[in-house]
Structure 1
Amino acid sequence: MFTIATWNINSVRLRAGLVERLLREESPDILCLQECKSPVEKIPVEGFHALGYRHMVARGQKGYNGVAILSRLPIEDAGDRDYAAMGHARHVSARLENGVVLHNFYIPAGGDIPDREVNPKFGQKLDFLTEMRDVFHENAPQRSIIVGDFNIAPREDDVWSHKQLLKVVSHTPIEVEHLAAVQDAGKWVDITRKDIPEGKLYSWWSYRNRDWVASDRGRRLDHIWASPDIANAGHGSRVLRPVRGWEGPSDHVPVFASFDL
């Protein structure tokens, strides 16, 4: 068995101490980070190594984007893809010794206006998702897990107010449809919602909410999916809501799942 966590850290160098705290307190076997905002060679791995996380596969760039997989288990680099030809570090994959392939994604946020004609960033987001759909349709995933900040809250109970967010980027119908097409193409199983099928569930709270606890205007943007052949091995999903209250936090919190593989 192994446990995976995914967390948009919003600068791994700025929040290395929070990463180390999570590794100490929760001890996932694998931690996937997004929005690292660092070249790979400047990721502060010394503290992670000291805690037993001696393996890392990452893609980075200065100041923006960036994805990393930290592991206590041996992993090998399984490559990356430049989805939507953006030239961004938004995907990396690793292979475990048991053959499971783990993909770590940071899907574009898409800007503020849900209209690709006036907001090119929204178009890039949709194109990124379309390419993901095509890749998984052409190569049916087997013994695979995909995690990351998908920047989409697909279900009505994945947001604080379905009606009020229908025209807000991350919950618009067209984004939800595109993500559903990605999921259908790979027959992916949403492990979090397999384990927690009902009720409001969030992994992100805006910095703009001064009292995020009281307002609780959250969205579930961070996901763990598994290919159908191993989905039944996934269990123990949890969202670490208290992490949003740590000092100097990311606006996202870690999402966990375990796999009996």
Structure 2
Amino acid sequence: MSLETHKTALIVGAGSGLSASLARLLAKQGLQVALAARDTAKLQPLVEETGAVAFAADTADAGAVAGLFDAVQARFGDPDVVVYNASGRLRGPLVDLDPAGVERVLAVTAFGGFLVGQQAARRMLPHGRGAILFTGASASVKGYARSGPFAMGKFALRGLAQSMARELAPQGIHVAHFVIDGQIRDAAHQGSPDRPDSTLDPDAIAQSYLAVLQQPRSAWTWEVELRPWLETF
């Protein structure tokens, strides 16, 4: 199935790694790509490579998120594909965690997902089509020690995605959640030479996102779990 009905993609929480792989792949598919991040300067190399347009936005701010979608609509029209990659992390013993820091993690990881999902749905519903994709993690389904805030945020994001999928699928909008259950390969995490593919290749993950976008609506999935074939945990 082609992506002929998809013209514009908005990747929120963009950066290197998975977001960059998605931007490259979707641009090759002929989509106009918009990238959103708090710091757009870091996106300049990717913008030059893919022809994407970068927008500054704080995903935890309702006004900023609404403004982001207005800006994308003015430049490209309503986005057909919206990917939420933003998340926050705070590690440490439970008794030592700063409540303000925990609040920020939840605001970015979960509340930001709601804000972006809501704005995307408002713009897709009049068209009766579109796709909203949420990036999860191992912490979406299992909470690790000293990582409570991240698990709280990712559990909430997964619940949001499941609820949205059940509500919006009958109205033509495909909502899917991706459990990235392992370390994504980057410059600092290449994996051990004697254990090839022990980390997830971001380009390979992007191909799975594309496969979901290409699913016929008679067989949509709401969740995909991806992990390296050699697990280290």
Give the TM-score category using the shorter length. 0.3 to 0.5
Instruction: Report the TM-score when normalising by structure 2.
Output: 0.47
Bigger share in strand: 1
Instruction: Report the TM-score when normalising by structure 1.
Output: 0.44
